[in-house]
Amino acid sequence: EVQLVESGGGLVQPGGSLRLSCAASGFTFSRHWMHWVRQAPGKGLVWVSGISSDGTTSNHADSVRGRFTITRDDAKNTVYLHMNSLRAEDTAVYYCARDVRALGVMSFFDYWGQGTLVTVSS
């Protein structure tokens, strides 16, 4: 059974840092792109960051580029989101998601974790 379990959320002051983790199980982790998607309270889904299956390619939304970094450790089947210079507008539930490719190119997110809440407030 595929499982994604996020951890590391919590309350942090503006300007602070946090590292989120997403532990994966039930599939061959090293074969998949992985992503972080966030949802501010009462708002919609926003893609944040993604990392390729081999870890050589990553990208971030403009709103977090330069402040957030996505990494992965295939030995631990875990993807991380390193968040620095946090702002109030980063307050959200952060989900990790597994990427699957139809026909090798059409990406979609077929499994999601339960989410971890990050609150940025003084």
Partner 1 sequence: DIQLTQSPSSLSASVGDRVTITCRASQTISMYLNWYQQKPGEAPKLLIYAASTLQSGVPSRFSGSGSGTDFTLTISSLQPDDFATYYCQQSYSNPTWTFGQGTKVEIK
Q: What is the largest CA-CA distance in the chain?
A: 47
Least Cβ distance, residue 13 to partner 1 (angstroms): 27
53 within 8 A of 76, measured Cβ to Cβ: no
Compute the distance between CA of residue 96 and CA of residue 6 in angstroms, rounded to an integer: 7
| Cβ closest to partner 1, residue 66 vs residue 122 | 66
Compute the distance between CA of residue 82 and CA of residue 102 in angstroms, rounded to an integer: 29
| Cβ closest to partner 1, residue 30 vs residue 107 | 107
Least Cβ distance, residue 79 to partner 1 (angstroms): 15
Contact positions vs partner 1 (CB under 8 A): 35, 37, 44-47, 50, 52, 57-59, 61-62, 95, 102-103, 105-110, 112-115
Least Cβ distance, residue 62 to partner 1 (angstroms): 8
Least Cβ distance, residue 65 to partner 1 (angstroms): 11
| Cβ closest to partner 1, residue 75 vs residue 106 | 106
Compute the distance between CA of residue 104 and CA of residue 83 in angstroms, rounded to an integer: 31
Closest CA to 82 of 105, 113, 112, 51: 51
| Cβ closest to partner 1, residue 33 vs residue 80 | 33
Compute the distance between CA of residue 1 and CA of residue 31 in angstroms, rounded to an integer: 16
